[in-house]
A = this chain, B = another copy of it.
Amino acid sequence: MNDWFETLDGLRAHVWHHLLQGVANRDSAARHPVLATQGLDGWPEARTVVLRAADEQSGTVEAHTDLFSDKIASLRNLPRAALHVWEAEDRLQIRLSLSVEIQSGEAVAALWARVPDHSRQSYGVTPPPGTPIARALDYDKTPDPASFAVLRCTVQTIDAVHLGPVHRRALYRRDDGWTGQWLSP
């Protein structure tokens, strides 16, 4: 019997296990991954997001954001992102490269209807996110479906590193059917 990190299939299954845990469990590390994008100004950017969906079958993940946030402008310019998760207990680093489609308005109205009241607070701030303000609290939050955006992310590659007593690293690619390839760590 192999440990999960000893086979390509086991390691990939464990990655998806954690991503699904992130969606289901607010205390999971994968609940709050870091999403990296390339900014309009030519500088890399990174910020915490909340993982809202993950599906191994289709190889997709999803996050929600304010349509007027910086990351939307960055993703409109270059619809690619990296998602990073560190699962401390399993000593597992998960790195996804993602093609990102931004959906808003009618396309996500059904989803908005299911967003709980307290979560709706995250969508709709005046002035828009990132606007200079004179005092820290010179803004107003009013939940607004017109500010609700869904990042539909198609996973292109998964880079998984297990930092055990010895290190193992594998790369999985959509374009080869997720077979997987060990890499020097």
Contact = CB atoms under 8 A, between A and B. Distances in A.
Chain copies in complex: 2
Interface in A86-116: 86, 93, 95, 97
Nearest to A37: B44
A36 B32 contact: no
A36 B43 CA distance: 10
Interface residues of A, number: 48
Given A36-B36, A48-B86, A43 B80 contact: yes
A-side binding surface: helix, strand, loop or mixed? strand
B36 A44 contact: yes
Interface of A: 6, 32, 34, 36-38, 42-48, 78, 80-84, 86, 93, 95, 97, 125-139, 156, 166, 168-170, 181-185
